[in-house]
Amino acid sequence: MRHQIKFVLLLTTFSLGAAFALPAIRDGMPACDKALRRHVTINQLVQLSMSSASFSSDNSDAMMLSDSAGAKRAVVATAIATTTGATLLLNHQVISQAAISLLLAYEGSLLKHPLRTKVMTGAALATFGDYLAQVKEMRSSNKEYSVPRALSFAAFDSCYRMFQHLILPMIVLLGKGHFTHNLLSSIPLVTTNLAFAAALERTLMYQFGVIPFFYYPIFFTFTGLMQGLTLKETYSRAKKNFLPCWKKNLLFWIPTQMVMFGLIQENWQVPFVCVMGIIWSMILSVVAGRATK
């Protein structure tokens, strides 16, 4: 880090020095070069009248002054751009190191306090996703930001992450992929491996088992009651919105969970779905977030 700071300071000093040294270099041109310029100017003056010669001389001096000022501005601009680029490079490295430190700290918290970390992560990201959805709605209509709606998403996601923390290892344990692999291998012209079959099997178990029978009952119950609906109104809302939500759920989460079960380590699976849940919380909040009587 010290070497990088020294490099930036040296680069800045060099660039500014070049900017201020250029006019001095131009003023210190050899006398023969100036005499040659005067000689060329005199030969041109012989061919012109006295009045036009005076105008040409003044115009030539103005052009030389303009070229000198333009060159100085160009060097100063180059110095500023170079210094700015080096500073941004240094800042980028500092930001990268800070991000890596935060990631390592989060990983440590995930290992020491897995349930607490997953619950807090899910609640924060679900609230943020609902906030983005509400902001979009406020721009297109006269609706105001609903705090109960945001709290209902936070409460729902917190409880669901507790359940997910327990159910995911069971699904990984049960979904070894042997049944799906044998089934796919029996189809002509279809080849697959056990890892893909296991990811597919776990995804199907989750989407057709956990989601319709656990996820949506918890979601509609928490978001309905916390936004002031009765049990009857909560049931009517769930009955109306279940199929549209589940269709979107399958389209979004089947490829996402294929990646999760196939590529993501088990400790990072819940944080992974929490991050992807920002997008999903926006979709769910728009489709069925606001509970109305």
Question: For position 171, what pLDDT does the model report?
Answer: 93
Judged by average pLDDT, the poorest of 38-52, 183-197, 210-224 is: 38-52
3-state secondary structure of 188: coil
The closest of 147, 154, 203 to 177, measured between CA atoms, is: 203
CB 90 within 8 A of CB 1: no
Q: Residue 215: pLDDT above 80?
A: yes
Residue 145 CB contacts under 8 Å (≥ 6 apart), including other chains: 131, 134, 135, 138
Dihedral sign from CA coordinates of 249, 254, 260, 261: positive
Top mean pLDDT of 51-65, 81-95, 141-155 is at 141-155
pTM (2 decimals)?
0.59
* DSSP codes of every residue in 222-291: HHHHHTT--HHHHHHHHHHHHHHHHHHHHHHHHHHHHHHHHHS-GGGHHHHHHHHHHHHHHHHHHHHTS-
Judged by average pLDDT, the poorest of 33-47, 63-77, 108-122, 247-261 is: 33-47
Question: What's the pLDDT band for 113 if we cut at 50, 70, 90?
Answer: confident
How far is 259 from 283, CA to CA, in rounded Å?
20
Q: pLDDT exceeding 70 applies to what percent of the chain?
A: 67
Residue 283 dihedral angles phi and psi, to the nearest 5°? -65, -50
Long-range Cβ pairs for the range 257-262 (8 Å, 24+): 257/199, 257/202, 257/203, 257/206, 257/207, 258/199, 258/200, 258/203, 261/172, 261/175, 261/198, 261/199, 261/202, 261/203, 262/195, 262/196, 262/198, 262/199
Q: Residue 237: pLDDT above 60?
A: yes
Give the total residue count for the chain. 293
